[in-house]
Structure formats: C-alpha cells, structure tokens
Amino acid sequence: MAQKQVIQQPGLPLSDPTQPSTTVDLEIASQWKLMWWKFRKHKLAMAGGIVVLLYYFVAILAEFFAPSLPTTYIDQYVFAPPQRLQFFQDGRFDPFVYGYGFERDPVSFKKTWLVDEETVIPVGLFVRGDEYTMYGLITSDLHFIGPEEKGQPFYLLGSDKSGRDIFSRIIYSSRVSLTVGLVGVAISLTLGILMGGLSGLVGGWVDNVIQRLIELLMSIPNLPIWLALAAVVPIDWPALRVYFMTTLILAVIGQYSWTYMARVVRSRFLSLREEDFVLAAMLDGCSTWRLIFKHMVPSFLSHIIASVTLAIPGMIIAETALSFLGLGLRPPVVSWGVMLQDSQKVGLIATSPWLLYPGLAVFIVVLALNFFGDGIRDAADPYH
Amino acid sequence: MWQYIFRRFGYMLFTLFVISIISFVVIQLPPGDYVDTLVNQMASESSGVSAEVEEQMRALYGLDQPVYVQYFKWVRNIVTRGEFGYSFVYRTDAREIIMDRLPMSFALALGAFLIVQLTSIPIGIYSAIKQYSIADYGFTFLGFVGRAIPNFLLALVLLYLSFRYFGRAMVGLFSEEFVDAPWSIARVMDLMRHLWIPAIIIGLDRGAGQIRTMRANLLDELNKPYVDTARAKGLSERRLLWKYPVRHAANPIISTIGWALPEFISGEAIVSIVLNLPTGGPIFLAALFAQDMFVAAGFILMFSVLTVIGTFISDVLLVWLDPRVRLQ
Amino acid sequence: MTDPLVEIKDLRIHFFTDEGVVRAVEGIDLNIKPGKTLCVVGESGSGKSVMALSLLQIIHKPGQIVDGQILYHRGRVAGGQFSQNGAVDIASLNRKGRDIRSIRGAEIAMIFQEPMTSLSPMYTVGNQVMETIRLHEKGISKKEARERAIDILRRVRIPKPERLIDEYPFRLSGGMRQRVMIAMALSCTPSLLIADEPTTALDVTTQAQILDLMLELQQEFNMAIMFITHDLGVVAEIADDVAVMYLGNVVEYSDVDTIFNAPEHPYTQALLRSIPKISATRQPLDMIEGMVPSPFRRPGGCPFHPRCTQALASCSTVVPSLTTLHENHIVRCLLHEETGEEVPRG
C-alpha cells in the first residue's frame, strides 16, 4: 500500500515570492511496492515467474491438460517416436498428426518406426478421452488436447517401454516433482527458522552447538547419505509414505536443507541486531516478541522468500536424482526422476532419445525458478 | 593462529567420530540383515535353512551382538587393522573393494575440483571487469544453464550424443587398451586424457555458481574506498585489480572451497553411476541395493573422511590467506 | 597575488545514469595556491567530493568530465623540486594512462573520509605505504623503502613505527589509520594534498590531533592542501581560503576572514547562521529552509533560488556569473552583479 504524505516545503516555487509556502505531494512507497517495481524491471525474472506459474497451473489441472492417463498404454506402440503436430490441412487450420508405420530390418529383425502420411489422426482441443477423477471430486473425460477419436495413438513426445504417452506422464509427474520442492522447502524452512532463530537470538552455547551441527551436516557428502537413508525406506510402503519420507530426507540433509535456511535466518538476525532501527525500537521499550515480529521479521521476509525460491530447484533436482537412481520415489508414482529411470539403460537412449524429455522439463522449470529467485533476491536487496 | 588450527582439528576429529556413527547406524537401519537376505535366497533355491543354522551364521558374521558392540568392533578394526568388515557379496574384506575404487573416485573429484577452481575464478574476474560485454552475457548465460542442468542429466545427454555421433560411449576413464592394464605412466596419461569430460560434467554446476559469485563479489569490491586509495597512489589498473579487489573478492570463495568437496564427491558418485565409470559410485549403489552393509558403510565413511579432511585443509588455507582470521 | 598551483576552469562533471544525467559539477572555476590551505565547504550533494576526485581523474563511472580544464602547474611549487615548467591539463589526460599515474600519489596525493575502509585489511601497513614509495621512486631498494616508510610513519607521530609497520590496518584505531593514510599520501612529498573529509569519521579529540598534524606537516613539506569538509568549525581553524559550493557551483570564494566576517552570498550567510552559538539566551537554531533538490531536478537560473530568502524574480531564469567584489573575493549571485566586476572567462 502506498501512503500519501504531504510535506510542507516553504519557499518552493519562487515564481511568486509573496506566497512563501506551498505543498508538494510525495508518495511514500511501501517495501513491497518498491520490491515489485524493481522486480518488474528484471525481464528474465518476470519471464521466469510466468513459466513457473504456468508449470504449477498445469500441475494442478494435470488430468485436464494431459491427453491421456499416465497408465493408459497401447501395446503395439512401444518406444514410438514423437509425432509432429501439423496445424494446417488443405490450407485451413485443422490440426492433426500422422499415424505410425514400421518396417523390420530383414537381417536383425529390428523394428524401425516410419511416418505414415496416409493415416491422418485429427487432433482437437477440448476433446473427450480417458475418464478421470480430479482430486476425488470431479469426474470428467474432457481433455485440453488430444486425438478427436479416443484410442488413436497420440504421442507428442513419444512413448515409453509400455506404450504410454511420455507427454501425459511428464504432466502428471510435474504434480509430484513440483510439490516435492514445495513440501521439502516448507519443512526445511520451518526447521531452519526455528534453529536459525534460536541460534541468532539466544546466542552463546546454543548458537555454538547449532553451528557445529550445521557444519557437521554440511561436511557430509549429501548423495551417499541420501542414498543410504533412501535405501532404508521399506519396499512395501505405500506411495504417499515414500513420498513424504523422501521429502523429509531431502529437507534434513543436503545443500538446500534446513541448514541452508538456518544460516540465512541466523545471519539476518545477527545483522539486524546491529541495525539502528532495532536499537531504537529496543530503547523505546518494545517487547521482544513485538521487536521480532513487528520489526525484524518483516525486514528479512523478502530475503527468506528469495532463499526459498532458490532452494526449490535444488529440491527438485535432488528428488529427480534420487528417483532416477531407483532409491527415491518408485513406480507406480510418476515423477520426472522415475521416468528417467528408463534412460539408465545406455542402449535405450541411443535408440529412443525422447526418453530424456522429462529431463528437459526439469531443466526448464529449474532455469525459470532460478531466474525468478534471482529477480526476487535482487529486488529484496535495498542496497543495490 | 595455532589455537584456531587446533580447534578446527578438534572439530574435524569430532566430525569424523559422528560421521562414523551415522554411517554405521544408517546401514543398520533397514529391517533384516544380510543373513535374512541369504536365507531368503536359499529358500527360493529350495534349500531351506533351519533357524539353528541361521543363528550360527549370525554369530559367524557377528550380527548377533548389540549394535554398539558391532560399531565398536567395526571402528576398532578400521583404525587398528585397516579392515572394513566382511563383504557378503564379494566374500572378502570390504577394504579391498573400497581401496580398489576409492582412489579413482578421489582422482575424479579432485580433477573436477581443480578444473572448476582454475577456470571459474578467472572467468568470474573477466566477467566483472568486462561487465555487460558479449563475453559477460555469454558466461552469465552459461552460468544459468549450468545451474539448471543436474549433472546426471548432463551425463545422460552426453552419453546420447556420443552414441548418436560416434556410435559408442565416448565417456570412460580409459582407452580400451588401458582398461585392464597395470598402472604405468602411459596409463596415467591416458586417464588424464579421459578424466576431463566427466570432471567437467561433475563441476559444471559448482563452476557456474562460482563464476556468478566471483563476478558479483568483484563488482562489489571494485567500488570500495580502498580501491580509490590504491588508484590515488598511481598504481596501474592491472596491478591494482589483482592486488586489491581480486584478492578481497576471492577470499570468501577460497574460504568456502572446503564446502565444495562434499558436492564434488556426490557429483562424482552419481555421474560415475550414469557413465558406469570404474569408481566408487556404482559399487556403492550396488552395495546399498544388496545390503552389503560393510561395503556401503565403508564407502560413506571414506567419502566423508575425504571431504572432512578437505574442509580442514581449506580452513588452514583461510588462516594463511586472511590476516583477519590469522590474528584473532 | 601568487600564481596558482592548480587552476580549475569551467569544470563540468556529469553522471550518465539510467535515470538521467546528474550534473554533479556544473562549471567550477577555482584556484589552488601553492603552500596554502583551501577549504571547500558544502552540503552533501554539492559536488565537492566529485570535484576533488576529478583532480586525480578517479571519478567513478558513470561520472565523466564533460568540459573544462584542470591546469596543474608543476613549476610553481614553493620549494621548487620540480623543474619542468608549463601546465598539464589533468582533465584531458587518459584516466588509465601513464601521465596521470605519475602525478597520482607523487605530486598530488589524496586522503579519504573513511580510514576504516580506505586501507586494505589484507596487507600490512608497511606494504601499503612502501607501495607508493617504490612505485614512484624507481630503483629504490626494498630496504630503503622500508626505512623511508618507517621515517614517514614517525613523522606522522605514530609510536614505535618499526613495530607498527608490520601491523595490519584492522588492528589500529581510527585515528592511527588516518595517520597511516596521511603517511602514505606524504611519502612522496606531493605538492598538493587533497583531503576529503578526513576527520569526519573520527571523534573530536582525534580530529583535533589530526588537523594539527596536517597543518604542521604542511609547513614541513611546503605543500598545498585542498580540504573538503562540511564542518565550518574546521574551516575556521585551518583554512587560508574558502570556496563555498552549492549544487555543483562555487557560489563564493574568498579568504577565511572575509568568508566568516563579511560573506556576500545568501547561501554563505545562511550557512554561517546555522552554526550553533553558545549564548546566554536560548534561541532556535537558524536553518536553511527547504532541502537540497534532487540531483535530477537541478533548478534553472541560480540553483539556490528556491531556498533563497533574498531571491529576485529574475533568479529563477538568469544564471548568475562570477563577480569579483574585491581582490580575492568572488561571488556568484545576481544581487552583486551590478556592484562588482565580472570575472573574465579564461
């Protein structure tokens, strides 16, 4: 919110010296407004923010945006290459894809996919397809995009080893992979604020112990411990429990875990303690709680938000890596890492490189989050 | 100064102690032990095992004792005899497995570390003094891309590209003729020729981050009053740059160099798994899957020991470099 | 009248920022006399520091000298160490070139406001003092340079200079650091010392000591001092001549007595009224009304007119020119244009 303040400025302007005083309107912008102005100037950050919002939007409505269910398969289309979406037919806008044909090498008997230009599969927006139930509430079969006739092969990013649509699975995966970032950061942030705040506020031996603990956790290589801990998760656990366990592991140990948050919070607390306005509030007889929540927290909230935005991509990458190695989330859960498991077999990526598309999804969202986070961090820093 | 180094040394020993506990406990956590695995295996091969035999096997491997006794024996054997415990899979002491692969892990992590330090700091400096030049934008772009590609994904992409264009995986640590050859100068040279590709894959993320940090730090330092002082003395721009702002800007990076080591060890492990390099990573992962606990625990311990020692060295380095720390 | 050591002629320094051009210095004419102390007084934003930095060509980007000359007369040093005659136009020198570098530190030296941050914490005092000496005196050995450094540290009254030379600056007090800065500046016996608010960051006792030291050393080294300050008390104590600056202009220039006893420019008068006085009666402190305008919105005409209590109607449109009232008393104000004599433009 912007407040208007009227400042008396005597002697301005002087075109009429007999009237010595006049008023000038000065707008006093709030911290958030200033941040928004600064952020808006950062083009890449804006673009990053839009991409991130788009990702989360699609993830929320995954059932609608995915052309098929993650489990839908057509067994004759195994490892089918991506189809090119054609927009114009006979000179007018009427999107379609070509069907598949294949030939077998007479010697090796290997199957090679071909584009069958004879078969035209019409594609439409808002088509009827697989039936789904969204969040246990809405049952529908409406899909944003898909073949007009249900059951036709429609593989914009190719198909996997069971003939499932990689595009649809990437969309469903985003729900898991993106929330791992959010949930993980939420846990690490809670822990971090608690420990960092304690460290910065109490000081003394408490600070010392927490600092040693953080140093200790930071000097252990993350991946081996993650793997070892993930290996502990029993095979027969339900998917949701595995999901939370994995997230918890990432939030407790690692580069972007609570140790990172705690360091951010602590250093903010320490530097704020030196600030004049905090001293002024203290001298005014401000109570400790009021001091923390009214004066200190608002002034570093922006830093926390920036750190959170920069920690989310770290979490996403970590989950992807763990699942990729087979020690994080497991099928039937779909996440980008789980999907990438298929590409562990060297021969497969050589013949079906589209199996790497989930990696592209990771790359784009991590890039966008980094731009976005950098923008917020720059905007949050009042001294630049 | 010596007090500081001693204190850091004390921390290091303490950290090692805690890490050894963590390594051991983590490996103990899964329900069941190797004997269970073995029994299941035998059962599936329809040669059932009696409970009695099962207990005997447990006693043989020392698995019947309380955890702390097992831990104590494990640590004692490592410290006094250099034995890491029995590998159930390889039927030998875990030391042989670990020591066979660990040096290569270390070489790869160190290679990546050196490449990153030797390139990212100069590039960061260049980027800062040529702020807003084409090269600066290029490196900034590279920085963002480097941070956004997880190293295992980069390894996969490279694997695909080498298949696509060369018909085989070009990323190994040795040429074919040296894979099983005994160590020789030629083999080391061959290793050097191959090491840099996985090293860059491992280091890209960190390197990208450091370029950005160095650039930002240096841009900050360039406007500090002591730079004006030095310029007012009549120093040439080049001498001034290297003696003052670069030195100041590099300090926070050098002082946290130790923290980079865990990252390199982690990166080394996963990239080696993807590229199937003959280092500790793939064996460690296999040991986890097979519940070969002493091999897995030994690897965690040794990976951590490497990084903790590295951190200690960087602490000492910092003392040597920064008079503010040295004279406290 | 003595010939000036440095003549600044119609100097203009602009900062080209994204938000617009800041005209930090907008036509300054000023002389610095050899062996004398010139105090430059003004509020923050008056351009006094930028002007000082321009004498060494060390203005920060995006600042740039856009017009004018800074003529440095090498021969006119009272002691006469420099034999070369003729003037160097510092404003036209390449800021990274060899010529300006041979002047910096050797002939014109500078000390800065913040003794805490103006010395690098990474190197010893000796390292930083000897650096200047070895830079400008070719062929001097390390040992000789060290002896010279110890000697100069002793001359700025640093106790036990043999020991302190190996100390790091962050282990010294603020006053000691400023002494080190002075030692560094004087190590090559410059003919002009520029001091940009060197005592602002120090406590009052230390401030007095440093000022005394500077005046003493001025006699000893026979150098000119350009002292930038906003503290009129300091001015009264050390100045020979005073230049009062407002928004990138020198509005009044004269010897210290005239400035304090018979100021002519309304701004100078207002400044002097705003000094607190110890008197028996309690009375409110006179302030200059209004604020210094934003650097992007420099008022037209006389820049001071919006705050001036004696402003005429024409003040908002006509830029006043420099007017000589008496010898060594120049003022830039429309009120005096008729009475005085316009200074011919060089």
pLDDT digits (tens, 9 = 90+) for B6-40: 888 888 888 888 888 888 887 777 666 666 766 77
Q: In terms of DSSP bridges, do strands C329-332 and C241-246 run parallel, antiparallel, or are they unpaired?
A: unpaired
B238 CB near a chain C CB, below 8 Å? no
pLDDT value at position A241?
A: 83
Which residue has better confidence, C84 or C176? C176
Residue A28 covered by a domain: no
Domain that holds residue C294: 1-107+191-276+285-298
Distance (Å, whole) CA C289 – CA C305: 11
Q: Is the pLDDT of residue C346 over 50?
A: no
Same domain, A229 and A203: yes
- Split at pLDDT 50, 70, 90, the class of C281 is low
For residue B81, what is the DSSP state? I
- Within a 13 Å sphere around the CA of C237, how many CA atoms are in the beta-carbon half? 16
**Of A297-306, B154-163, C211-220, which has the strongest mean pLDDT?**
C211-220
Same domain, A210 and A267: yes
Token pair in block for residue C151: 């000697």
A280 CB near a chain C CB, below 8 Å? no
Distance (Å, whole) CA C303 – CA C2: 31
Do the Cβ atoms of B229 and C103 come within 8 Å?
Answer: no
Do the Cβ atoms of C290 and A15 come within 8 Å?
Answer: no
The string over A149-158, giving b where at least 16 C-beta atoms fall within 10 Å of a residue's C-beta and e elsewhere, is: eeebbbbbbb
Chain B residues 244-263 within an 8 A CB cutoff of chain C: 244, 247-248, 251
Residue A102 covered by a domain: yes
Same domain, A102 and A158: yes
Q: Which chains touch B (3 or more CB pairs under 8 A)?
A: A, C
- Per-residue pLDDT of A52-110, as tens digits, reads 999 999 999 888 888 888 888 888 888 888 888 888 877 788 788 888 877 777 777 77
Same domain, C92 and C133: no
Residue A226 covered by a domain: yes
- Of A147, A163, A179, the residue that ends a domain is A163
Q: What proportion of chain C, given as a percentage, has pLDDT over 70?
A: 91
Token pair in block for residue A172: 């469903």
Do the Cβ atoms of B229 and C96 come within 8 Å?
Answer: no
Q: Which fold has domain B100-321?
A: MetI-like fold (1.10.3720)
pLDDT value at position A17?
A: 39
Do the Cβ atoms of B156 and A231 come within 8 Å?
Answer: no
Residue of chain C minimizing CA distance to A21 = C290
Q: In terms of DSSP bridges, do strands C37-41 and C241-246 run parallel, antiparallel, or are they unpaired?
A: parallel
Distance (Å, whole) CA C132 – CA C115: 17
- Of A145, A163, A181, the residue that ends a domain is A163
Same domain, C166 and C263: no
Do the Cβ atoms of A10 and C291 come within 8 Å?
Answer: no
Candidates C56, C96, C112, C120, partner chain B, best to mutate (most B CBs within 10 A): C120
Do the Cβ atoms of C290 and A13 come within 8 Å?
Answer: no
Same domain, C145 and C208: no
Distance (Å, whole) CA C200 – CA C208: 11
- Of C187, C207, C242, the residue that ends a domain is C187
| Cβ neighbours of C338 (radius 10 Å) | 7
SS3 state of residue B224: coil
**CA of residue B227 relative to chain centroid, distance:** 37
Do B285 and B300 form a contact (C-beta atoms < 8 A)? no
- Of A125, A143, A163, the residue that ends a domain is A163
Q: Is the pLDDT of residue B166 over 90?
A: no
Same domain, C34 and C85: yes
pLDDT value at position C316?
A: 86
pLDDT value at position C85?
A: 56
Q: Is the pLDDT of residue A9 over 60?
A: no
Query: What average pLDDT does the segment B194-199 reach?
Result: 84
- Of C159, C187, C215, the residue that ends a domain is C187
Q: Is the pLDDT of residue A50 over 50?
A: yes
B325 CB near a chain A CB, below 8 Å? no
- Per-residue pLDDT of A169-212, as tens digits, reads 999 999 988 998 889 989 988 888 888 888 877 778 888 888 88
pLDDT value at position C343?
A: 60
| Amino acid code (one letter) for A234 | P
Query: What average pLDDT does the segment B283-293 reach?
Result: 85
B296 CB near a chain A CB, below 8 Å? yes
Chain B residues 174-213 within an 8 A CB cutoff of chain A: none
Number of domains in chain C: 2
Chain C residues 284-313 within an 8 A CB cutoff of chain B: none
C130 CB near a chain B CB, below 8 Å? no
Q: Which residues of C touch B233 (CB under 8 A)?
A: 104-105, 109, 131-132, 135, 184
pLDDT value at position C161?
A: 92
- Split at pLDDT 50, 70, 90, the class of C165 is very high
Token pair in block for residue A151: 């059951």
Q: In terms of DSSP bridges, do strands C87-89 and C63-73 run parallel, antiparallel, or are they unpaired?
A: antiparallel
pLDDT value at position A69?
A: 85
Distance (Å, whole) CA A262 – CA A257: 9
A150 min Cα distance to partner chain C (Å): 57
pLDDT value at position C80?
A: 42
SS3 state of residue A4: strand
Using omega within 30 degrees of 0 as the cis cutoff, is the peptide bond preceding C62 cis? yes
A9 CB near a chain C CB, below 8 Å? yes
Residue C345 covered by a domain: no
C96 CB near a chain B CB, below 8 Å? yes
Q: Which residues of B touch A216 (CB under 8 A)?
A: 14-15, 18-19
Of A3-17, B73-87, B116-130, C22-36, the poorest mean pLDDT is in A3-17
Domain that holds residue A234: 170-379
Distance (Å, whole) CA C31 – CA C7: 5
Distance (Å, whole) CA B281 – CA B299: 9
Same domain, A100 and A182: no
Q: Domain of A174: which CATH number?
A: 1.10.3720.10
Query: What average pLDDT does the segment C116-136 reach?
Result: 91
- Within a 13 Å sphere around the CA of B214, how many CA atoms are in the beta-carbon half? 31
Token pair in block for residue C327: 């010898």
Nearest to C69 by CA among C48, C55, C81: C55
Q: Is the pLDDT of residue A16 over 80?
A: no
Token pair in block for residue C6: 């440095």
In this structure, what are the phi and psi dihedrals at residue C81, rounded to the nearest 5 degrees? -70, -30
Q: What proportion of chain B, given as a percentage, has pLDDT over 70?
A: 91
Which residue has better confidence, B43 or A58? A58
- List, in sequence order, every residue forming a beta bridge with A6; answer none if it has no partner: A25
Residue C308 covered by a domain: no
Same domain, A179 and A145: no
Residue C234 covered by a domain: yes
Number of domains in chain A: 2
Q: Is the pLDDT of residue A114 over 90?
A: no
B223 CB near a chain C CB, below 8 Å? yes
Same domain, C291 and C204: yes
Stated as kind and residue range, the H or E segment containing B181 is none
Sign of CA dihedral A224, A226, A232, A238: negative
Q: Which chains touch C (3 or more CB pairs under 8 A)?
A: A, B
Helix axes B293-321, A222-232, angle to 10 degrees: 150
pLDDT value at position A21?
A: 40
Distance (Å, whole) CA C169 – CA C158: 13
- pTM here? 0.80
Q: Which chains touch A (3 or more CB pairs under 8 A)?
A: B, C
Same domain, C93 and C203: yes
Chain B residues 107-166 within an 8 A CB cutoff of chain C: none
Q: Is the pLDDT of residue A245 over 90?
A: no
Same domain, A150 and A215: no
Q: Which residues of A touch B262 (CB under 8 A)?
A: 218-222
How many residues would you count in chain B? 328
B322 CB near a chain C CB, below 8 Å? yes
Nearest to B147 by CA among A260, A255, A261, A314: A314
Long-range contacts formed by A148-153: CB under 8 A, 24+ apart: A148/A122, A148/A123, A148/A124, A149/A121, A149/A122, A151/A74, A152/A99, A152/A121, A153/A74, A153/A77, A153/A80, A153/A83, A153/A99, A153/A100, A153/A121
pLDDT value at position C76?
A: 61
SS3 state of residue A76: coil
Same domain, A274 and A155: no
Do the Cβ atoms of A9 and C315 come within 8 Å?
Answer: no
pLDDT value at position B97?
A: 85
B149 CB near a chain A CB, below 8 Å? yes
Same domain, C102 and C208: yes
Residue A234 covered by a domain: yes
- Per-residue pLDDT of C49-65, as tens digits, reads 999 999 999 998 888 99
Same domain, C127 and C149: yes
pLDDT value at position B47?
A: 63
pLDDT value at position C193?
A: 95
- Split at pLDDT 50, 70, 90, the class of B249 is confident
Residue of chain B minimizing CA distance to A213 = B15
pLDDT value at position C341?
A: 61
Of A118-132, A291-305, A366-380, C30-44, the poorest mean pLDDT is in A291-305
**CA of residue A378 relative to chain centroid, distance:** 19
Q: Which residues of A touch B284 (CB under 8 A)?
A: 224, 227
Q: Is the pLDDT of residue C97 over 60?
A: yes
Nearest CB among B22, B259, B273 relative to A325 is that of B273
Same domain, C243 and C259: yes
DSSP C205-248: HHHHHHHHHHHHHHHHHT-EEEEEES-HHHHHHH-SEEEEEETT
- Split at pLDDT 50, 70, 90, the class of B56 is confident
- Split at pLDDT 50, 70, 90, the class of C294 is confident
Q: What proportion of chain B, given as a percentage, has pLDDT over 90?
A: 7
Same domain, C153 and C25: no
pLDDT value at position A25?
A: 47
Same domain, A207 and A344: yes
Do the Cβ atoms of A9 and C291 come within 8 Å?
Answer: yes
Q: Which residues of B touch A224 (CB under 8 A)?
A: 265-266, 269, 284, 299-300, 303-304
Q: Where are the alpha helices (DSSP H) in A97-165?
A: none
Do the Cβ atoms of C306 and A11 come within 8 Å?
Answer: yes
Do C180 and C212 form a contact (C-beta atoms < 8 A)? no
Q: Which residues of A touch B269 (CB under 8 A)?
A: 221, 223-224, 227
Sheet holding C329-332, edge to edge: C108-111, C192-196, C224-229, C37-41, C241-246, C249-255, C329-332, C322-326, C341-342
Do C38 and C32 form a contact (C-beta atoms < 8 A)? yes
Query: What average pLDDT does the segment A3-29 reach?
Result: 43
- Split at pLDDT 50, 70, 90, the class of C81 is very low
A17 CB near a chain C CB, below 8 Å? yes
Of B198-207, B226-235, B288-297, C169-178, the poorest mean pLDDT is in B288-297
Do A223 and B280 form a contact (C-beta atoms < 8 A)? no
Same domain, C57 and C99: yes
- Arithmetic mean of pLDDT over chain B: 83
pLDDT value at position B48?
A: 64
The CA distances from residue A289 to A52, A286, A292, B238, C341, in Å, are 35, 8, 5, 52, 68
3-state SS string for A196-231: HHHHHHHCHHHHHHHHHHHHHHHCCCHHHHHHHHHH
Do the Cβ atoms of A218 and B259 come within 8 Å?
Answer: yes
Q: Is the pLDDT of residue B248 over 90?
A: no
pLDDT value at position A194?
A: 85
Do the Cβ atoms of C316 and A17 come within 8 Å?
Answer: no
Stated as kind and residue range, the H or E segment containing A26 is strand A21-28
